[in-house]
Structure 1
Amino acid sequence: MSSLDQDQRLSPCCRDKTTVSSDSSDAAGPASTPLQGLKLASHAVLEEAQERGRLKCSKCGGSRMFFCYTCCSLVGVSPQEVPLIKLPVKIDIIKHPNETDGKSTAIHAKILAPSDVTIYTYPCIPEFEKDKVVLVFPGPGAVSVQDMLQCLLDRSHDSFYEPCTKRLKTEGLQGATHASKNPELGTSSEAKGLESKVYPLQRVVFIDSTWNQTNKISTDERLQGLLQVELKTRKTCFWRRQKGKPDTYLATIEAIYYFLKDFHEHCLAQEYSGEYDNLLFFYSFLHTVINKAKRLAGKI
C-alpha cells in the first residue's frame, strides 16, 4: 500500500527512500491539508542528517539516509533524536514479498514504535486469536472503527462467529469505558483488568503492498475469519497515487495512523491530542520535500 521510489529522483541527494526538507508550509496543493497542525517532534535532526548526506548502515553496509529499511535501524541519527511512540495495541504488518523494502512506509512505524510493531514477509503470517484481532482492509463485510469493538465482543460470546450486526457501541459498553477511567475503581492493576475486558482488541493487522498485489495476502486462509475494518472516510495525501485507485486507498503508515486516531476517539472514548501524530514524523517530512520539488519543477 505504499511506494516511494519514483519521486526520489526529484532530489539529487537521495535516491532509494528518503529525500527530505522540513517546513510543512512548503507543501503545496490541497493534498497537504491532512498533514497540517500535527504535533510532531522537530524535523531539525532530519534536516541536519540530509545535509550530511547518505551513510553506510553499520549492519548491512547499505547506503542509507535516516534509517536502513533492510535492518530496521537508524543511520546517522541517534535513537534519542527521533520520537519513540507507545501504541495502545500491537500492530502486525504483512508485507508482500515483491514489495521492495525501500519503497515501503511500513518501516516508519517499526522504527518509531519498535516495541509495538512487527513486520512479516508473506507467506510468513503468525497465528491469530480471531476474536481479538482485526484486519484493516476494505471489503463488503468490513465495519467501521466505531463498530469494531462491539463486533469483537459479539464474536467472543459466539463460538460460531456469526456475522455481527453493524451498530454503534451500546450504552453498556460506553458505561464500562467510562468506568475504566474512574479513580474509585481501586488499584491501577484492577483498572487494567477491567480495561482488558472492555477492550477485546489485542492486535491489528495491515497489509503492505501495492493495491494490485493485495489479493494474494488478503485471501490467505490464515486471515480468513478476521473481522475486517475499513477506514472509509480518510483520504490519502501520498505523493505517488496508484493509477486507477480511489483516494481512500491509503499508504501503510497513513492507515496505521488514522486507525489509531479513530480508535483513541471512538473506542477509548478520549479526546485526541496528537498522541500518535509522530507516526507521521518521517512521512510528513518526505511529503513536504517531494511536493516542494514537484512545485519547483512545475509539476503541481
Structure 2
Amino acid sequence: MSSLDQDQHLLLSCRDKTTVPTDSSDAPELAKHPLCGLKLASHAVLEKAQQRGRLKCPKCGGSRMFFCYTCCSLLGVGLQEIPSIKLPVKIDIIKHPNETDGKSTAVHAKILAPSDVTIYTYPCIPEFEKDKVVLVFPGPGAVSVQDMMQCLLDRTDGSHDEPCIKRRKSEEVHGATHTAKNSETGTPDEAKGCESRVYPLQRVVFIDSTWNQTNKISSDERLQGLLQVELKTRKTCFWRHQKGKPETYLATIEAIYYFLKDFHEHCLAQEYKGEYDNLLFFYSFLHSVVNKSMSEGKHCKENNLKKT
C-alpha cells in the first residue's frame, strides 16, 4: 500500500466521525491547525467525496479518492468544483523515478494549476535558459527569494562571476511598480521588454523525491549553472516528516506554495492576499483528516493502556 493509499485508508476509516473545520464556528479547532488562516475554497466537495469512498480510475484502473495520483486526473470530484490557480511563473517538477506516486504531493500542483505546472520523471529534464530559471534546492551557494531577482539580473548583465548584491527593498518596490505601470500603458513590445528586465525569471524547478534521493538529480549536469534558491525560514507540517531531517525540509507542494508567496511579496512587491493559498487545497484537507485520525488513535491507545 502506498503512502497516499494509507492516507486515503485513514480518510475512509474516519469518514463518519471526522469533519474538516470550514467556518468561524470551529475556531477552537482551527486555532490548533498549523494551516489555519488560509483563504481556501470550501472543502465540502471533498467531504462528500470522502463519504462516497474510493473510485476506480478509468485510465489506469487504480482505486483512488479525490484524484488519481498516477494519471493526474480527478475522481468523484468535478473540475468546476475545485479551485483553478494561475501562477506568475511556470513550474517544472523533476520527479525521482523511485519516488512513489502515491507519496508525492507534486500532483496537487499539477491538478490545481494544470496550465503552469509540468512534471517530468528523471532522467527526463527539459532544456533551460539558465539565466531565466532557478532551482529551489538548499545548498551552500543558495540565495533567498529576496535576493534571487538581483542575482538573475546580474547574470543577464554578464556578471556571472560577481557575487550577488542585495538591493534595498525600496529599490525593489520602486522597480516593480514602475514596470507594472509601463506594462499597462506601453506597447506590447515595450511592455514585454520592460517586464523581462525587471522580471527575468521564467521558470522555477523543484525536485520531487525523498531527501535521501535528491543528490542524483540535483547533481545532474543539466541542472548545473542554475541559480539555487533556498527557503530557509519555512517549516514543514507534513504528516510524513522524514526522520533525521530538519523541519525546513518541505514537502513539494509546501515548497511551491511558500516560494510563490515570497515571490509575490518580495519580487512582485505586492501585498499577499491569499492568491496561491488554494495550492494547499488538498494538502490542508488531508492534513486535518490524517492528523485527527492519528490523534484519535493515540487517544484510544492511551485509554486501552489505562484499562490494563
Instruction: Please report the TM-score for the alignment, with normalisation by the length of structure 2.
Output: 0.87
Using the alignment, how far apart are the partners of 1:258 and 1:140 within structure 2?
A: 20
- Alpha-carbon deviation of 1:195? 1.9
Using the alignment, how far apart are the partners of 2:182 and 2:201 within structure 1?
A: 23
- Alpha-carbon deviation of 1:157? 1.3
Counterpart for residue 211 of structure 1? 211
Change (3 A) 1:239 1:37: same
The reply to whether residue 180 of structure 1 matches residue 186 of structure 2 is no
Using the alignment, how far apart are the partners of 1:233 and 1:252 within structure 2?
A: 16
Counterpart for residue 22 of structure 1? 20
Change (3 A) 1:21 1:109: farther
- Alpha-carbon deviation of 1:65? 0.7
Change (3 A) 1:158 1:32: same
Instruction: Provide, for residues 121-176 of structure 1, a one-character-per-residue CA deviation record: whole Å limited to 9, x for no partner.
Output: 000000111100000000000000000000000011117x2153252357655432
AA partner of residue 110 (structure 1): K
Bigger radius of gyration among the two:
2
Change (3 A) 1:184 1:13: closer
Change (3 A) 1:81 1:7: closer
- Alpha-carbon deviation of 1:196? 2.6
The worse-fitting range, judged by mean Cα deviation, of 131-140 and 49-58 is 49-58
User: Quick one: percent identity of the two aligned structures?
Assistant: 74
Counterpart for residue 164 of structure 2? 165
Counterpart for residue 118 of structure 2? 118
Give RMSD over aligned pairs: 2.5
Using the alignment, how far apart are the partners of 1:196 and 1:27 within structure 2?
A: 47
Number of residue-to-residue matches in the alignment:
291
Other structure's SS at 2:223 match: coil
Runs ≥4 in structure 1, deviation > 6 angstroms?
26-31
Higher helix share: 2
- Alpha-carbon deviation of 1:7? 4.9
Counterpart for residue 194 of structure 1? 194
Using the alignment, how far apart are the partners of 1:63 and 1:53 within structure 2?
A: 10
Using the alignment, how far apart are the partners of 1:165 and 1:214 within structure 2?
A: 26
AA partner of residue 203 (structure 1): R
- Structure 2 matches for 1:1-300, cutoff 5 A? 4=4, 7=7, 10-13=10-13, 21-23=19-21, 32-33=33-34, 35-158=35-158, 161-169=160-168, 173-182=172-181, 186-187=185-186, 189=188, 190-298=190-298
AA partner of residue 32 (structure 1): H
Change (3 A) 1:244 1:157: same
AA partner of residue 23 (structure 1): P
Instruction: Provide, for residues 240-276 of structure 1, a one-character-per-residue CA deviation record: whole Å limited to 9, x for no partner.
Output: 1100000000000000000000000000000000000
Structure with the greater relative contact order (CA < 8 A, sep ≥ 6): 1 or 2? 1
AA partner of residue 167 (structure 2): L
- Alpha-carbon deviation of 1:10? 3.6
Using the alignment, how far apart are the partners of 2:204 and 2:28 within structure 1?
A: 31
- Alpha-carbon deviation of 1:188? 7.1
Change (3 A) 1:275 1:11: closer
Using the alignment, how far apart are the partners of 2:240 and 2:251 within structure 1?
A: 10
Other structure's SS at 1:284 match: helix
Partners of 1:185 and 1:191 within 8 A in 2: yes
Partners of 2:8 and 2:65 within 8 A in 1: no
Other structure's SS at 1:180 match: helix
Instruction: Provide, for residues 264-294 of structure 1, a one-character-per-residue CA deviation record: whole Å limited to 9, x for no partner.
Output: 0000000000000000000000000011111
AA partner of residue 33 (structure 2): S
Instruction: Please report the TM-score for the alignment, with normalisation by the length of structure 1.
Output: 0.89
Other structure's SS at 1:85 match: coil
Instruction: Provide, for residues 83-106 of structure 1, a one-character-per-residue CA deviation record: whole Å limited to 9, x for no partner.
Output: 000000000000000001111000
